[in-house]
Amino acid sequence: MQFCDECGSMMKSMGSKMRCSNDDCQHTVAKDEEKAAQFVSTEAQSDDDVIESSEDANFEGKPTADDVTCEECGHGKAWYTIKQTGAADEPPTRFFKCRECGYRWREYN
């Protein structure tokens, strides 16, 4: 990763140049091909491993827990995602969505 000398924001590869990702700065420098070979581009990164906990998050297709009970309908299976919501030394939070009625809740370990 390369950072802008002017503002400290991350630089983006733009052909033969590196451009600051900060729209207010947009500082550019010539790309150092030797250094560029060391960088990994994330433009093709998928969001398969992104954990969504927002209200409109799509839980379908996520892992299923069968050791939980929905407080709304009593169903025993729910999709879930895990997210680190506190400090790194604290356990993660599990977010659930009932497979039957769609009710959402979270569980702190």
**CATH number for the domain including 97?**
2.20.25.10
8 located within any domain: yes
What average pLDDT does the segment 14-35 reach?
Answer: 82
- What is the pLDDT confidence band of residue 74, given thresholds at 50, 70 and 90? very high
Torsion sign over Cα 76, 55, 60, 52: negative
Active site residue 52: no
Which is the catalytic residue, given 5, 6, 90, 100?
A: 90
Mean pLDDT of the chain: 78
Which residues in 30-43 are b (16+ Cβ under 10 Å) and which e? ebeeeeeeeeeeee
The reply to whether 41 and 77 lie within a common domain is: no
96 located within any domain: yes
87 located within any domain: yes
34 located within any domain: yes
Total domains present in the chain = 2
26 located within any domain: yes
Whether residue 83 is predicted with pLDDT greater than 90 in this model: the reply is: no
The reply to whether 39 and 77 lie within a common domain is: no
The reply to whether 100 and 73 lie within a common domain is: yes
Domain span at residue 77 reads 64-108
Active site residue 89: yes
Which is the catalytic residue, given 47, 60, 66, 89?
A: 89
pTM: 0.47
pLDDT digit string, tens, across residues 37-61: 665 655 555 555 454 555 566 666 6
